Amino acid sequence: MIELTGEELKLHFSDNIFGQISETADALHLECYAVGGYVRDIFLQRPSKDIDVVVVGSGIEMAEALGRKLGKGAHVSVFKNFGTAQVKFCGTEIEFVGARKESYQRDSRKPIVEDGTLEDDQNRRDFTINALAVCLNKNRFGELIDPFGGLNDLKERTIRTPLNPDITFSDDPLRMMRCIRFATQLNFYIDDATFESLCRNKERIEIISGERIADELNKIMLAPIPSKGFIDLDRSGLLSLIFPELIAMQGVDTRNGKAHKDNFYHTLEVLDNISKQTDNLWLRWSALLHDIAKPVTKRWEPKAGWTFHNHNFIGEKMIPVIFRRMKLPMNEKMKYVQKMVSLHMRPIAIADDIVTDSAVRRLLFEAGNDIEDLMTLCEADITSKNTERKQRFLNNFQLVRQKLKDIEEKDRVRNFQPPIGGEQIMRVFGLKPCQEVGSLKSAIKDAILDGVISNDYDEAYHFMLQRAKAMGLKPVD
């Protein structure tokens, strides 16, 4: 955080748009203030294009007047139901809202809204660091209004509510998710009294829609160190309510001196590892869910110890259930996560053994264009504390990567379709759709992937005739 004098703070509002807002507000005899994240991020030296402006009066009237003043390049959108308006101008978005005070009914996070003062509006803000306001009227331009010590909380890197946290969180339980999200994004500490209130009010999260929870989870997932957010969700008791499958991964069982790792903390380590490599949200979700089926597949086998057979395939089947409940997209993004979870054991199995062309060829075929993401996930999954073992895996992964490159250049099997399809098989042998057609088609594909024949039409055709002969099939004249 940087400390700014009053004059230095004014410089952050020297852009022409703020002068236009100031003149518009004064012409309408309205108080107006920049508030919230835009002001906070000035002190945190974070980029922020979107500006929130509170008007003591009608935010819609103010936005419409500003739009007229800016002229042709301005686009004004009015949302009468919410009493807000947005002005877009030269790539900048300004949200206008009238100052208001709010009250809540216990079974809803939808507030009863009344017109209010700036003080009322700051009282309703979720956290002190988001309650900072800077006056935009000419006679007080650049003046900071900080009634709750938000500036000091920025210095102390602390998340705290302006008023009693029990009221703040009970009124709008989504603020509990936002509390942890901001702490995770900014790497801040949650004030003790605020955190204790999270624990007391956690059950209130049940009135929040899956979409809103998922939105906050996604923001936690995209933070530099997302594990911080999941640990706070767990400590507060919120995680067990919104994501019980993750809670089920906690703990270590020991039998006959053999223990397995705590899969919850292993998963968070993998998530952090992947987050150092990519901002791909759905690859991060793949990291979070890659071992999600281990609790339901855990078995004790006297010779092998603890096993989790087929946890990748069971996990693939669990993902649609989780995505549907959490209102995450049920489209190609979910299918991508399923693919990553299903295949995440394959490169590890190959790297732990002799790297055969056939195994690499099949991996390349099944992963397709997502092969690089899969390899990134698998490297992130190596969390062994045994330095020698970890290095051996990473070295072998380099061999797998080179094999992938060499085989793709030679055989072109990524996303390939066999050179002979079902329709041609039916035509050659005079068949209707039947099991034999599928068997021949699969045999050709497997022969190419196993390196028996090249990905070549003539070789595939000759192979088809030989296989068909063994099945008792003859070409028709």
Residue carrying the six token digits 């108080």: 31
For residue 17 the two structure tokens come to: 């748009």
Q: Give the Cα-Cα-Cα angle 223, 52, 120 (nearest 5 degrees).
A: 105
Question: Span 158-242: which CATH code?
Answer: 1.10.110.30
Domain boundaries, the chain: 6-156, 158-242, 422-470
CA-CA distance, 464 to 328, in Å (whole number)? Answer: 44
The pTM of this model reads 0.87
Instruction: Judge whether 228 and 184 are in contact, CB under 8 Å.
Output: yes
272 vs 232, 264, 380, CA distance in Å? 15, 13, 8
DSSP letter assigned to residue 111: P
Q: Would you identify the CATH topology of the domain 6-156?
A: Beta Polymerase; domain 2 (3.30.460)
Give the model confidence (pLDDT) of 117-165 as tens digits: 899 889 889 999 999 999 999 999 999 999 999 999 999 999 999 999 9
CA-CA distance, 119 to 99, in Å (whole number)? Answer: 9
Query: Which amino acid does the sequence have at 319?
Result: I
CA-CA distance, 189 to 76, in Å (whole number)? Answer: 38
330 Cβ partners below 8 Å, 6+ apart?
A: 320, 323, 324
Q: Do domains 6-156 and 158-242 have the same CATH topology?
A: no
DSSP letter assigned to residue 191: P
Residue carrying the six token digits 């380590």: 269
Query: Tens digit of pLDDT per residue, the chain (477 long)?
Result: 899 999 999 999 999 999 999 999 999 999 999 999 999 999 999 988 789 999 999 999 999 999 999 998 899 999 988 889 999 998 889 999 999 876 555 665 565 667 788 998 898 899 999 999 999 999 999 999 999 999 999 999 999 999 999 999 988 999 999 999 999 999 999 999 999 999 999 999 999 999 999 999 999 999 999 999 999 999 999 999 999 999 999 999 988 888 888 999 999 999 999 999 999 999 999 999 999 999 999 999 988 888 999 999 999 999 999 999 999 999 999 999 999 999 999 887 777 666 677 888 888 888 888 999 999 999 999 887 888 888 888 888 888 888 888 878 776 767 677 888 889 999 988 889 889 888 998 888 888 888 888 888 899 899 999 998 888 888 886
Instruction: Judge whether 249 and 295 are in contact, CB under 8 Å.
Output: yes
Give the strand pairing for 254-255 and 189-190: unpaired
